[in-house]
A and B are shown apart, each in its own frame.
Chain A
């Protein structure tokens, strides 16, 4: 129960600064831009899966 399926995650970069500004992720089959905010539930779940070793965030192209 309560599984959140994340099939892809890649950083988005601000082309002016070169900094990572969000994560482009596919969560439960929906593509979205996820902010780097620990209070955002999508970001919190991404980081939980990263820490669990089940997800890797790809660097921006």
Chain B
């Protein structure tokens, strides 16, 4: 009796005699196909919406925008209507709105040597106002990292958006990297912009379901759980946040070195891509042995690895504290917001 899987003609005899080949499932691996992280736009550790000006900025994890004018680009996470069927099985999408200059949105795929040979990009997109022919561009960039060969911008590909969701697919082969020098922090960048090769377009683009995979076939989007996607994102960015009320959040535990400073050890939830930079948005308070809280006046990072950070805190003064246990935490009307960044 023949066994048929998805009508592709895989028979019991093929399984038994070992002739099952990649071609039987379209030439692609069955899981871990998607090289894009957060392609379904689920994870937004930094927040769900932000408007920024000239320069690079992230909102949704792993998706980096570039603003061309003051307060010119807004990136936000949007929710689909429950039960919608336009983009089945998706709950979120990214909305990019530019008021000055083109929309620029990219994701850097870590390690340029992972993106060699034929690949297929697929994504869902629409626009209410950028519907001119070929107004959405994707141009890949090969970046060879610190000490590596000079970056190379690839072929420009164009797509025409409508006001309805469409799935777009593109099969292409990146330029050969044979003979190139690859340094640390190399990447293969998928760069979207609203430019038709001649003109820039301002307006709004909605996008989700971005997938980059090996081979010539655009397979169905590989859905991953929120937890799995968050863990992947935390290789590049990790935020510890606690509001100025409950729940109580602790950055880590350490000790006081003297009356005005101490060290806190932070164990990062996954090994990050590189040693992260530390940005302290809200400095919170330092706790002396569960006795008293002191307002932190400054933070800096001392020794760190991709999996651990030693954060030095300073306070104006404290009670006798040398050698005693310290915490950094929120509470008492003070917010805690520490951000570890090892993005490409």
Q: How far is the CB of B256 from chain A (nearest CB, A)?
A: 13
Given contacts A3-B54, A28-B56, contact A39 B184 (CB under 8 A): yes
Given contacts A4-B55, A12-B302, contact A35 B279 (CB under 8 A): no
**B residues less than 8 Å from A5 (CB atoms):** 55
Q: How many A-B residue pairs have CB under 8 A?
A: 77
B277 and A14 form a contact (CB under 8 A): no
The number of chain A residues with a CB under 8 A from chain B is 26
**A residues less than 8 Å from B273 (CB atoms):** 39
Interface SS majority for chain B: strand
B304 within 8 A of partner (CB): yes
**A residues less than 8 Å from B302 (CB atoms):** 12, 14, 21-22
B146 and A22 form a contact (CB under 8 A): no
A38 and B55 form a contact (CB under 8 A): no
A16: nearest residue on chain B (CB-CB)? B257
B55 and A41 form a contact (CB under 8 A): no
A32 within 8 A of partner (CB): yes
Q: How far is the CB of B99 from chain A (nearest CB, A)?
A: 17
In whole angstroms, how far apart are the Cα atoms of A1 and B276 in the complex?
Answer: 25
B35 within 8 A of partner (CB): no
The number of chain B residues with a CB under 8 A from chain A is 32
**A residues less than 8 Å from B301 (CB atoms):** 12, 21-22, 33, 35
B24 within 8 A of partner (CB): no
In whole angstroms, how far apart are the Cα atoms of A1 and B151 in the complex?
Answer: 15
A32 and B55 form a contact (CB under 8 A): no
Contact with B along A35-59 (1 / 0, CB 8 A): 1011111111000000000000000
In whole angstroms, how far apart are the Cα atoms of A28 and B53 in the complex?
Answer: 10
Contact with A along B307-324 (1 / 0, CB 8 A): 000001000000000000
B116 within 8 A of partner (CB): no
B335 within 8 A of partner (CB): no
Specify which of B54, B183, B280, B304 lies most central, judged by the most chain A CB atoms within 10 Å of its CB: B304
**B residues less than 8 Å from A14 (CB atoms):** 302-303
**A residues less than 8 Å from B343 (CB atoms):** 41
Q: A35-B276, A35-B304, A38-B146 provided; 12 other pairs, C-beta below 8 A?
A: A12-B301, A12-B302, A12-B312, A24-B300, A31-B279, A32-B341, A35-B274, A38-B147, A38-B183, A40-B185, A41-B344, A42-B277
Can you give 13 contacting A-B residue pairs, CB < 8 Å?
A2-B56, A2-B66, A4-B55, A4-B56, A12-B301, A14-B302, A28-B56, A35-B274, A37-B274, A38-B147, A38-B183, A39-B184, A39-B274
